[in-house]
Structure 1
Amino acid sequence: MTTLLEAWRHRPTHRQVWSLATPMMLSNLTVPLVALVDSSVAGHLPHTQDLGAVTVGSAVYALPVWSLGFLRMGTTGFAAQALGARNASALRTVQAQALLLAVLLGVMAGALMMPALPWLIGQMHSTPLMTTRALDYLHLRLLGLPAALLNYALAGWFIGAQRAGTTLSLLLVTNLVNIALNLLFVFGFHWGVPGIALASIGGEWCGALYGLWRAHQAVRDMVGQIDWQAMRGWAHWRPLLAVNRDIFIRTILLAGVFFSLSLFGARLGDAVVAANALLLNGLMLTAFCLDGLANAVEALCGHAIGAGDHLALRRALVVAGGWSLIGSVGYALFFGVYGHLFVDLQTNLPDVREIAYGYLPWLMVLPLVGVWSYLLDGLFVGATRAREMRGGMVLSALLYVLLLWLTHDLGNTGLWLAFLAFMALRAATLGWLGLCIRRRQAWVA
């Protein structure tokens, strides 16, 4: 207990945590802004098919972008450890690797998506006119895919290099350019749906170019050079690719669990699935704050591991963990006091409101349970121990499926019970794996 209190009282660590967490919280708030702006602009076009085309097209475009989002987490840990080891050459090399991988995956994914677009849009069962406009949107939109992935890689590197403010500015440039071009192309030039796609492309590429410029500035005065000779060998790429592979598998399983809530909820009725969606928006709201603290853990723990500093690692975990607990309690109290208002702001449908009110206690407990999996994810990402993350997620997902089967007679209550247990299992498995690594004294080499 004394050791924990000493770690908590270390003021410089508090400043470090919040200097990283605050920009990331603000960055998280900008994430849904591009889709919101696109749909808002499309909603003011004369035809309903325009809004439908942008909605459908955005959903299809999100598939490769979301699936390849591991580039962010996969880069952060390596950059943080290189910074902690004060190895400027390694920091430069990690940056180059991540950017090359982002461009390669962006081009490959775009090329593979093009012939599959008619089939993907067909699965939406949209009208012929909406399908045509959605295809027009996507044929242009995919030109921005390499830039979107470059932004993921750049954001991961900036977080690992403890430049979270640059990540925020990168996202602000992307979103502000997108807004400005939407107004110009759609309302000024009257280009309609293609104008919305071009505005999004312009925002992504302007963000990528800005990020590349800031990345160049960050390494310009560093000693050392990119190790191009090592990058020609498979052994140098294997760790990064292995981490990205394991994070990809972990992310797919996590998304599958969230998708199952909508899938099984839909079988219980339209009002049930709608109420569940409103409550899950509350979970997304908690992520804005708690994920920012997890990002700080990624950077600080990775730095401590790279530096071989056990004490700094403990301090980062204790301080970020303490603030995460405070944040989760705050959210639990918020949903307990203002839960009905939170639901009412999202819908005026009486049957949906009534169902959502009954499940607010689950939403109150969820931040208190889920906070630990967010925090431990940050530790494992910073330590580039994605294999353990993948293993923990596989076990948690399997137990979740078992619980779904055991509680299917309980209806929506069983669904929420299984989901809450899944979040607890994520934290428990990562906590157990973390203790095993600690017993081996293997966190810091």
Structure 2
Amino acid sequence: MSELLDAWRHRPTHRRVWALAVPMILSNLTVPLVALVDSTVAGHLPQTQDLGAVAVGSAIYALPVWSLGFLRMGTTGFAAQAEGAGDRIALRTVQVQALLLAAVFGIGVGLLMLPLLPWLIGQMHATPALAARGLDYLHLRLLGLPAALLNYALAGWFIGAQRARTTLSLLLVANLVNIALNLLFVPGFGWGVPGIALASACGEWCGALYGLWCARRAVHGWPGRVDWQAMRGWAHWRPLLMVNRDIFIRTLALEGVFFSISLLGARLGDATVAANALLLNGLMLTAFGLDGLANAVEALCGHAIGARDPLALRRALVVAGGWSLLGSVACALLFAGAGHLFVNVQTSLPEVRAVAYGALPWLAALPVVSVWSYLLDGLFIGATRGREMRDGMLVAVALFALLAWAARGWGNDGLWLAFLAFMAVRGAGLGWIAWELRRRGAWIAPLPRLHEAA
């Protein structure tokens, strides 16, 4: 207990945590901004199919973007460890490798999606008019996919290098350009749905170009250079690719749980699936804030592991964990006290409100239960231990599936019970793995450096 108190009282760590967390919280809150601006502009177009096309197109576009989030998470840990070790060559190498992967995936996945777009829109049971507008939207929106993935890689590298303010500025550039061009292309030029898609794609490319300029400035003047000859070998790429593979599997499993919530809720009725969607918005808002502290953990823990400093590792975890607990309790109290208002702001439908009111206790419990999985994700990302994250997630998903089946007779309460248990086991599983690694002294064990792997 004295070790925990000593760690909590270390004021420089508090300053470092918040110096990273505040820009990342603000960055996370900009994530839904693009979709909000797009839907707002589309909502003022004359045809209802316009808004539907943007909603359907955005949902389809989000599939590859969210699935390839490992480009951000996998980059952060290696960059943070290189920064902690003071290894500028490794930092250069991580930057180049992440950008090359993002470019390859951006072009490759975009080309693979093009022939699948009609089928994907068809799965949404869209009307012919909405489907046609949705295709117009996606054909232009996919032009921005390479830039979106480059932004992931850049953000991951900047976080790992403890340049969180640059990540914030990158996202602000992308979003402000998107807003300005939306107003120019749609109300100004009258381009409708294609104008919305083009504005978003241009915003992503402006953000990527700005980020590349910042990245070039960051490494300018550093000693050493990237060993391009060594990068042709598999051994040089293997650590990053293996971590990214495991995070990708983990992300797909997590998305499967959220998809199951919608699917199983739909079987309970239209009001239930709508109410659950509104309540999950509350979880997303909580996650946006608490993930900022998790991002600080990624950078600081990775830095401590690279510097082989167990005391700094403990301090980062204790300080970020303490603030995460306080933040989660505040969110829980907010939902417990103002949950009805939160629901009422989102819908005026009596049947949806009634179902949502009944599930508010579950929403109030979620922040305190789920915060530990966010925090420990940050630890494992900073440590580049994707395999442990993957295994912990798969165990939690298996339990969710078992409980969802066993509690199917309990209606929506059974579904929320399974989801709450999933979040609890997800955090507890990572906590147990972290404790075992600590017991074996494995957190500060020598880890392969990307530029040494060859």
Q: TM-score scaled by structure 2?
A: 0.97
CA distance in 2, matches of 1:198, 1:219: 32
Deviation at 1:98? 0.1
Q: Which residue of 2 aligns with 1:98?
A: 98
Q: Amino acid of the residue matched to residue 31 of structure 1?
A: V
Deviation at 1:57? 1.4
Deviation at 1:227? 2.1
1:226-254 deviations in whole A, cap 9, x for unaligned? Answer: 12122111001111111111001101111
* Moved segments of 4+, more than 2 Å: none
Q: Amino acid of the residue matched to residue 299 of structure 2?
A: A
Q: Which residue of 1 aligns with 2:210?
A: 210
CA distance in 2, matches of 1:104, 1:148: 12
Q: Which residue of 2 aligns with 1:191?
A: 191
Q: Map 1:272-311; keep pairs closer than 5 Å.
A: 272-311=272-311
CA distance in 2, matches of 1:18, 1:44: 39
1:260 correspondence with 2:263: no
Secondary structure of 2:154 counterpart: helix
Q: Which residue of 2 aligns with 1:12?
A: 12
Deviation at 1:129? 2.1
Q: Which residue of 2 aligns with 1:385?
A: 385
Q: Amino acid of the residue matched to residue 221 of structure 1?
A: G
C-alpha RMSD of matched pairs (Å): 1.0
Deviation at 1:41? 1.1
Q: Amino acid of the residue matched to residue 300 of structure 1?
A: L
Deviation at 1:26? 0.5
Q: Which residue of 2 aligns with 1:83?
A: 83
The more displaced of 218-227 and 369-378 is 218-227
Q: Which residue of 1 aligns with 2:315?
A: 315
Q: Which residue of 1 aligns with 2:419?
A: 419
Q: Which residue of 2 aligns with 1:430?
A: 430
CA distance in 2, matches of 1:366, 1:216: 41
Deviation at 1:330? 0.7
Deviation at 1:262? 1.1
CA distance in 1, matches of 2:129, 2:362: 42
Q: Which residue of 2 aligns with 1:355?
A: 355
The more displaced of 129-138 and 169-178 is 129-138
Q: Amino acid of the residue matched to residue 195 of structure 1?
A: G
Instruction: Report if aligned partners of 2:29, 2:289 keep a CA contact under 8 Å in 1.
Output: no
Structure 2 regions of 5+ residues with no counterpart? 446-454
Q: Amino acid of the residue matched to residue 332 of structure 1?
A: A
CA distance in 1, matches of 2:85, 2:53: 49
CA distance in 2, matches of 1:311, 1:346: 46
1:73 correspondence with 2:73: yes
Q: What percentage of aligned pairs have identical amino acids?
A: 77
CA distance in 2, matches of 1:119, 1:267: 24
Deviation at 1:97? 0.2
Q: Amino acid of the residue matched to residue 27 of structure 1?
A: S
1:139-177 deviations in whole A, cap 9, x for unaligned? Answer: 111111100000000000000000111111000000000
1:394 correspondence with 2:377: no
CA distance in 2, matches of 1:403, 1:172: 42
Structure 1 regions of 5+ residues with no counterpart? none
Q: Which residue of 1 aligns with 2:452?
A: none
CA distance in 2, matches of 1:131, 1:362: 37
Q: Amino acid of the residue matched to residue 275 of structure 1?
A: A
Q: Which residue of 1 aligns with 2:241?
A: 241
CA distance in 1, matches of 2:92, 2:236: 14
1:35-81 deviations in whole A, cap 9, x for unaligned? Answer: 11111111111222222222221111111111111100010000000
Secondary structure of 1:125 counterpart: coil
Q: Map 1:339-354; keep pairs closer than 5 Å.
A: 339-354=339-354
Q: Which residue of 1 aligns with 2:119?
A: 119
Q: Amino acid of the residue matched to residue 102 of structure 1?
A: A
1:48 correspondence with 2:37: no
Deviation at 1:221? 2.5
1:229 correspondence with 2:247: no
1:403 correspondence with 2:403: yes
Q: Which residue of 1 aligns with 2:443?
A: 443
CA distance in 2, matches of 1:334, 1:437: 36
CA distance in 2, matches of 1:218, 1:258: 38
Q: Which residue of 2 aligns with 1:138?
A: 138
The more displaced of 45-54 and 3-12 is 45-54
1:252-292 deviations in whole A, cap 9, x for unaligned? Answer: 11111111111111111111112111211111111122100
